[in-house]
């Protein structure tokens, strides 16, 4: 398994390196690719190398695989060579993206103190939960960190009280960005956010969690479809943030941004409509929508976007929307 927390690159034969960011590195003959192949044997969009939860992976975007490269999704490690028509590149991993890993610290009402990093922390009474608390349903809540932000995803109905006493009720399937001083009420259990910061050499240093995006200021969303995925461009007036969405995550975004009539982008799209579009065989349970929603939000957060604010679940569940305000440009290519 690839190491977490590293920065990944594609190294060309002359030593030049191209960073692999949240949008991935699109490789092909088309001039709009990130890495252009000057060879007639190459496809216009030949392959994409993108970040995953555990490192990086290669996805072939053509029917016959890149020469010397795997046909389908393949995890890559430091030193892997990828051969494309006219060009061979090497996957390289540099030192940790952060010398001090961003982390947050939680305190359970029972007295235990727990750190949360980019791997996340699931809470509940199930055998696979990271933090097991009696009298809570299995996988009741998931805490995760990306770009220094702490995100809570509610798998059951719960509430969050802020430092000033305000109370936010979260239905199952919803997400919420947490700040220092917040308290998560999960049944009879209480989990407090002690501090967000950088844990290093036994010291926890406070750190701001940055402003959330105001979706009312969103100006444009563009989804560029690729074989087996796509790229999502989200702009708030300036340069857009870009995220690569693999497979069904792209299908979900497409359904929310270009739903079948009579629905429109920015409206809540019922789960049965999403399932019919994303899983046309009709054999998928509604719970799969929640899992896919979580993965889509995580991709957006890794791209520097507020995934919880952009992809919104209806109170009580049953429907989802992409928070596109009136007047914003929406293009699905």
Please identify, among 96, 128, 155, the residue that sits at the C-terminal boundary of a domain: 96
Q: Are residues 91 and 111 in the same domain?
A: no
**So what's the pLDDT on residue 315?**
80
Q: Are residues 253 and 296 in the same domain?
A: yes
Number of structural domains in the chain: 3
Residue 75 structural domain: 6-96
Binned at pLDDT 50, 70 and 90, residue 65 comes out as very low
Q: Is residue 307 part of a domain?
A: yes
Instruction: Compute the CA torsion angle 226, 311, 259, 318 (nearest 10 deg).
Output: 130
**So what's the pLDDT on residue 98?**
45
Q: Are residues 325 and 219 in the same domain?
A: yes
Q: Is residue 1 part of a domain?
A: no
Q: Is residue 310 part of a domain?
A: yes
Q: Are residues 92 and 110 in the same domain?
A: no
Residue 228 in contact with residue 246, Cβ under 8 Å?
yes
Binned at pLDDT 50, 70 and 90, residue 183 comes out as very high
Q: Is residue 37 part of a domain?
A: yes
By C-alpha distance, which of 122, 132, 137 is closest to 291?
A: 122
Span 53-77, mean pLDDT?
A: 68
Span 236-265, mean pLDDT?
A: 91
**So what's the pLDDT on residue 112?**
78
Whole-number mean pLDDT of the chain? Answer: 82
pTM metric for this prediction = 0.72
Q: Is residue 122 part of a domain?
A: yes
Q: Are residues 80 and 150 in the same domain?
A: no
Q: Is residue 128 part of a domain?
A: yes
Q: Is residue 70 part of a domain?
A: yes
Please determine, for residue 174, whether its predicted confidence score (pLDDT) is greater than 50. yes
Q: Residues of the chain with pLDDT > 70: what percent?
A: 84
Q: Are residues 192 and 223 in the same domain?
A: no
**So what's the pLDDT on residue 105?**
84
Q: What pLDDT digit, counting tens, does each position of 6-61 carry? A: 788 999 988 888 888 888 999 999 888 899 898 999 999 999 999 876 788 899 88
Span 58-76, mean pLDDT?
A: 64
Q: Are residues 133 and 59 in the same domain?
A: no
**So what's the pLDDT on residue 206?**
36
Q: Are residues 122 and 155 in the same domain?
A: yes
Please determine, for residue 210, whether its predicted confidence score (pLDDT) is greater than 80. no
Binned at pLDDT 50, 70 and 90, residue 100 comes out as very low
Who has greater pLDDT, 184 or 73?
184
d(CA 141, CA 299): 19
Please determine, for residue 70, whether its predicted confidence score (pLDDT) is greater than 80. no
Beta bridge partners, 329, equal 220
Binned at pLDDT 50, 70 and 90, residue 212 comes out as low
**So what's the pLDDT on residue 102?**
46
**So what's the pLDDT on residue 147?**
63
Q: Are residues 73 and 115 in the same domain?
A: no
Q: Are residues 230 and 202 in the same domain?
A: no
Q: Is residue 244 part of a domain?
A: yes
* CATH code of the domain in which 184 resides: 2.60.200.20
Who has greater pLDDT, 283 or 21?
21
* CATH code of the domain in which 237 resides: 1.10.10.10
Please determine, for residue 152, whether its predicted confidence score (pLDDT) is greater than 80. yes
Please identify, among 74, 96, 118, the residue that sits at the C-terminal boundary of a domain: 96
Who has greater pLDDT, 163 or 33?
33
Q: Are residues 224 and 326 in the same domain?
A: yes
Residue 57 CA, distance from chain mean position: 15
Place of tokens 């501090």: 195
Place of tokens 């055998």: 127
Please determine, for residue 205, whether its predicted confidence score (pLDDT) is greater than 60. no
**So what's the pLDDT on residue 89?**
93
Neighbouring residues of 200: CB distance < 8 A, sequence distance ≥ 6: 99, 100, 101
Who has greater pLDDT, 300 or 330?
330
Written as six digits, the tokens of 213 are: 């995006």
By C-alpha distance, which of 115, 140, 112 is closest to 125?
A: 140
Please identify, among 96, 121, 147, the residue that sits at the C-terminal boundary of a domain: 96
Q: Are residues 92 and 113 in the same domain?
A: no
Span 141-168, mean pLDDT?
A: 85
Who has greater pLDDT, 304 or 96?
304
Handedness of CA 127, 132, 138, 144 (dihedral sign): negative
């Amino acid at each position: 398994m690839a190491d977490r927390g590293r920065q990944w690159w594609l190294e060309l034969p002359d030593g030049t390196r191209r960073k692999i960011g949240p949008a991935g590195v699109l490789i092909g003959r088309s001039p709009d690719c990130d890495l252009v192949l000057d060879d007639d044997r190459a496809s216009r969009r030949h392959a994409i190398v993108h970040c995953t939860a555990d490192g990086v992976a290669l996805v072939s975007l053509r029917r016959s695989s890149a020469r010397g490269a795997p046909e389908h999704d393949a995890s890559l490690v430091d030193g892997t060579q990828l051969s494309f028509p006219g060009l061979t590149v090497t996957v390289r991993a540099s030192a940790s993206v952060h010398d001090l890993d961003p982390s947050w610290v939680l305190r359970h009402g029972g007295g235990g103190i727990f750190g949360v990093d980019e791997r996340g922390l699931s809470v509940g009474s199930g055998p696979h939960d990271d933090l097991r608390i009696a009298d809570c349903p299995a996988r009741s809540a998931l805490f995760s960190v990306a770009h220094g932000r702490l995100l809570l995803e509610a798998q059951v109905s719960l509430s969050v009280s802020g430092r000033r006493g305000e109370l936010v009720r979260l239905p199952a399937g919803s997400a919420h960005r947490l700040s220092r001083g917040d308290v998560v009420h999960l049944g009879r259990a209480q989990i407090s956010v002690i501090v967000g910061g950088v844990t290093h050499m036994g010291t926890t240093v406070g750190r701001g969690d940055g402003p959330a995006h105001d979706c009312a200021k969103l100006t444009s969303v563009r989804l560029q479809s690729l074989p087996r995925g796509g790229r999502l461009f989200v702009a708030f007036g300036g340069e857009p943030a870009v995220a690569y969405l693999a497979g069904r995550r792209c299908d979900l975004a497409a359904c929310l941004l270009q739903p079948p009539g009579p629905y429109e982008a920015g409206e809540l799209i019922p789960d049965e409509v999403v399932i019919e579009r994303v899983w046309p065989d009709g054999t998928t349970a509604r719970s799969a929508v929640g899992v896919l929603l979580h993965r889509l939000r995580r991709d957006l957060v890794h791209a520097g976007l507020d995934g919880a604010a952009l992809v919104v679940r209806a109170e009580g569940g049953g429907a989802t929307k992409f928070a596109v305000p009136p007047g914003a440009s929406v293009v699905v290519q």
